[in-house]
Amino acid sequence: MEISLLSICYLIGSVTFIIGLKMLSHPETARKGNLIAAGGMSLAIFGTIFLYKDGGEGLHNYGWIFAALVIGTLVGTVAAKKVKMTAMPEMVSLFNGMGGACAALISVIEFQHYFRVSGIHGDQATVGIAIGTLLTIFAGVIIGSISFAGSIIAWGKLNGSIKDFSFKGQQITNIVLFVGILVVSGYLITNIDFTNLYLFYFVLVAALVYGVLFVLPIGGADMPVVISLLNSFTGVAAACGGFLYNNQVMLTGGILVGAAGTLLTILMCKAMNRSLLNVLIGSFGGNAAGNSQQAVQGNFKEISVSDAAVCMAYAHKVIIVPGYGLAVAQAQHVCHELEKLLTDKGVEVSYAIHPVAGRMPGHMNVLLAEADVNYDKLQEMEQANDQFKNTDVVLVLGANDVVNPAAKNDPASPIYGMPILEVELAKTVIVNKRSMKPGYAGIENALFFQPKTSMLFGDAKAALQKLVAEIKTV
């Protein structure tokens, strides 16, 4: 009866994951969906603790289990509440890495467990482990380790403590290392015994090294894609743990995360008009990325806050393009205030969201949702590009690479072919930046030197506050 009750808990948990993921597809239901999925996860966790029986015995070491639950809950809650919006991508990457580490440790522990229960003593070599179980263990170790190590490097890159790094022949080194991991794993799966046990730990260490080398050369502008890909890796590794424990809720959760992360990665690559292989081996967005691009020539012009306020107050249609600079300045709330002020004056205001704007998938959507911006005002790239030619003023707030015309007209540019927000089609473009320094991809932006573009320098929050004050007097 208890086992059946546990199965029901797992079934409910699996269903809540599916429902929660569905509700996450829309901002109005996302919060509720997150809570529903969290409730299902809590039910599955406590169901396992109190209802699981192995050979008639339940779990042991409840002190350790609940201590870990309390500590993890406290750390996670405090981190989530205190994290700044600019640091959200780092936290997501770090948490994702922890998931990969857990999945890898599950495989390591289960591998050691099978050796113990196989009765290995002294010169006894043969180990009775099913091929399917070994495949699952090695998949969990390899994928989980790559996800963990790669996510930690991504976390370091996002917070600025780790720089892009590559060396001559690195791609070949990566390929050789990965093939070596697969070959050794294949050998162990078909020839597992006590004498070559050390090779299992070689696979573990080699997968960690590969995870580091895998992410190190990838340029900063591709980090949203990398985070999404590593997230899918963690999901697959977690699903392997579900297979090992015959745990339906872990299996369902892992499959959902893996599938969602993979689909998101494909969609983001499509948004950049590039293949996933090109993202992984192209080192796009590195500091030297723009060395061969066309030289950007011309002079930029500045605009005063009062002139910008007049332009926007008397416009019929304004589109705001949020970027990482908006997140850095924590200016989402004053941006929403500007939007409401313009709307009260009869101006049609909307937001244009590029799929890879910011430092993680959906970064700008999360940023604006925090300020209670109406989701109906958010336009995807294709929709916004159809609207720019009929727009009086476009206000670009901290965005750079996603509005760079070089993606359309400079074949030598590293971002050539990437779909962008075609803000240059608007009648007037106002760009707010701290300085004329290149964006995250490290390349100059010809948009800033076009006749219809004016630069409004300064911190995004301070600039928007001054705009709001000026517009109130117009």
DSSP codes, 152-165? HHHHHHHTTSS---
Whether the Cβ atoms of residue 107 and residue 144 lie closer than 8 Å to each other:
yes
User: Under 8 Å CB-to-CB from 418, ≥6 apart: which residues?
Assistant: 272, 273, 274, 407
Q: Please report where in the chains the tokens 């070089």 appear, as a residue.
A: 406
Residue 401 falls in the annotated catalytic set: yes
Whether the Cβ atoms of residue 436 and residue 448 lie closer than 8 Å to each other:
yes
Q: Rounded to the nearest 10 degrees, what angle do helices 223-245 and 131-158 cross at?
A: 150
CA distance 350 to 277: 35
Task: Give me the helices (H) in 272-295, please.
Answer: 276-282
b/e code 65-88 from CB counts within 10 Å (16+ = b): eeeeeeeeeeeeeeeeeeeebbbb
* Single-letter amino acid, residue 139: A
Residue of 222, 344, 376, 401 marked active site: 401
Whether the Cβ atoms of residue 408 and residue 382 lie closer than 8 Å to each other:
no
How far apart, in Å, do the first and last CA atoms of the chain sit? 73
CA distance 474 to 465: 15
Consecutive H or E run containing 429: strand 428-433
Q: Please report where in the chains the tokens 């992410």 appear, as a residue.
A: 215
Active-site residue numbers? 401
